[in-house]
Amino acid sequence: MGLNACGIKSKYERQAFHASYVSLARRKMGLNACGIKSKHDSDAFEGVLVHMSKMLEKIRARARSLQKTIVFPEGEEPRTVQAAAVLRKEELAQPLLLGSPGKIREVAFETGTDLVGIQMVDPRESPKAGEYAAALCEIRKAKGMTEAEAAKLVSDPMYYGIMMVKMDEADGLVSGAVHTTGDMLRPALQIIKTRPGIKVVSSSFLMDCPNRDLGENGLLVYADCVVIPCPTAEELANIAVSAADTARTLCGIEEPRVAFLSFSTKGSAKHELVSKVQQAVAMAHELAPELLLDGEMQFDAALVPEVAAAKAPGSPVAGRANVLIFPDLQTGNIGYKITQRIGGAECFAVLQGLAKPCNDLSRGCSVEDIVNTAVFTAVQAQA
């Protein structure tokens, strides 16, 4: 998190911001105010902040140079309105709020937010609604969608926003401060669909760990932790290729090293679940022959050089993986939360594999989370 991102200028404001940021980060790391006891702990903690802030600053600088248009279907939602103002003020992106302009102005007034430079579109009044409805009807006609159904759907800001992205009138979409993951994912999957060469949409979590010996100077990419409950071997291979792409394009990791995780390392156990991961590795090799990937392997074999030397000698990835592919959503979702809550990692989530970027927020998100997600979306739009 860069200090400038919130437009905080004075020394007093910077100190106050830092204090609140430290408190937020402590909460995210599961630490209370007394959770950091020794000077060593405290230094390590500050180290996380500095590292994370550097990574985010790099991503923000790229977003700033791109000036992508990001549409927010939840444009009347107070945190979203405030995030749009930060994006505009810091020139990180061109935010576009969907909703009633009257209602958006009311929210801006109540939150003391400046709307200068922020576009607003009311889907119910939009002259584009007819065009979008016709296009939506065409896209979904094989699924039996009628013109009347399409017209009704595009009056919904979520569908209108997805259609804006589909029709190239926005570069990406951010939603989820109010809606559930499924509410946003379903229209994105049905309308935006997957990018060429990729069969499934999935997610990556960027895990910024206090232990700098792990992954890429402490940064690990975890996939999939949000979307596909029980992936097939082919889907796992697709998730891996997408995660490597996220590592490269979003995190700036020049050499993604992808480990397919399991409870077995290199055939140490025999089970159908292990065989599925082994098949996924073979498929991923075919999909992306240039990619450094290996598996199946246990979590410690993926990350710890000594364990890798004993269990997977000669592996190009074991002991130094920076992208971890979990075998299913249960392990992925639990794994990221353990890393966050017990390991003290900061984490950021993005969707991957869509033809154009759409990203989901947690309903408990802060203004800063929305700004960060919009910035990630802008950079993904360029990739």
Ligand X SMILES: CC(C)(COP(=O)(O)OP(=O)(O)OC[C@H]1O[C@@H](n2cnc3c(N)ncnc32)[C@H](O)[C@@H]1OP(=O)(O)O)[C@@H](O)C(=O)NCCC(=O)NCCS
Q: How far is the CB of 224 from ligand X (least distance, A)?
A: 8
Number of residues this chain uses to bind ligand X (CB under 6 A): 15
Query: In the bound complex, what is the minimum distance in angstroms from residue 286's beta carbon to ligand X?
Result: 20
181 is an interface residue for ligand X by CB under 6 A: yes
Residue number, 57 or 234, with CB nearest to ligand X: 234
Q: Which residue, among 238, 208, 206, 227, has the nearest Cα to 379 in the 3D structure?
A: 206
Cβ proximity to ligand X: between 261 and 349 the closer is: 349
For the bound state, the minimum distance from the C-beta of residue 133 to ligand X, rounded and expressed in Å, comes to: 18
Residue 201 vs 304, nearer CB to ligand X: 201
Out of 102, 130, 182, 267, point to the residue binding ligand X (CB under 6 A): 182
Minimum CB–partner distance for residue 100 and ligand X (Å): 28
Q: Nearest distance from residue 378's CB to ligand X, in Å?
A: 22
Give min distance, CB of 381 to ligand X, in A.
Answer: 19
* Segment near ligand X (CB under 6 A); pick from 47-55, 160-168, 188-196, 209-217: 188-196
Q: What is the DSSP letter of 324?
A: E
For ligand X, the closer CB: 175 or 265: 175
3-class DSSP assignment, residue 139? helix
Q: Is the peptide bond before 300 cis (omega within 30 degrees of 0)?
A: no
By CB under 6 A, tell whether 200 contacts ligand X: yes
Instruction: Answer whether 283's CB lies under 8 Å from 237's CB.
Output: yes
**Interface with ligand X in residues 114-173 (CB under 6 A):** 143
**CA neighbor of 225 nearest in space, from 303, 327, 126:** 327
The residue from 190, 232, 268, 279 that contacts ligand X (CB under 6 A) is 190
CB-closest chain residue to ligand X: 189
Helix (H, G, I), strand (E, B) or coil at 95: strand
Map tokens 């009807």 to a residue. 137
Q: How far is the CB of 143 from ligand X (least distance, A)?
A: 6
Taking the least distance from each CB to ligand X, the nearer of 120 and 351 is 351
Stretch that binds ligand X, among 49-57, 81-89, 90-98, 180-188 (CB under 6 A): 180-188
SS3 359: strand
Nearer to ligand X among residue 219 and residue 226 (C-beta): 226
The dihedral through the CA atoms of 305, 308, 314, 320 has a sign that is negative
With CB under 6 A as the contact rule, the residue among 98, 121, 189, 243 that binds ligand X is 189
- Pick out residues in 205-244 that bind ligand X (CB under 6 A): 226-229
* CB environment 344-371: b (16+ within 10 A), e (fewer): bbbbbbbbbbbbbbbbbbeeebebbbbb
Residue 120 β-bridge partners: 97
Listed in order, strand segments (DSSP E) in the chain are: 69-72, 94-98, 119-121, 172-175, 202-208, 219-223, 257-261, 292-297, 323-325, 346-352, 358-360
233 versus 301: smaller Cβ distance to ligand X:
233
Q: Does 198 bind ligand X (CB under 6 A)?
A: no
* Contact criterion met (CB below 8 Å) for 130 and 321: no
Residue 169, preceding bond cis, omega within 30 degrees? no
- Taking the complex as a whole, the smallest distance from the CB of residue 201 to ligand X amounts, in Å, to 4
Residues from 316 through 375 that contact ligand X (CB under 6 A): 333
Running DSSP on this structure, what letter comes out for residue 71? E
Question: Can you tell me which of 1, 70, 83, 201 binds ligand X, judged by CB under 6 A?
Answer: 201
Question: From the list 27, 141, 152, 186, which residue makes contact with ligand X (rule: CB under 6 A)?
Answer: 186
- C-alpha separations of 38 from 41, 44, 66, 76, 289 in Å: 5, 10, 43, 45, 47
| Sequence letter at residue 243 | A
CB-nearer residue toward ligand X: 33 or 230: 230
Beta carbon nearer to ligand X, 143 or 270: 143
Cα separation of the two ends of the chain:
22
| Contacting positions for ligand X (CB under 6 A) | 143, 181-182, 185-186, 189-190, 194, 200-201, 226-229, 333
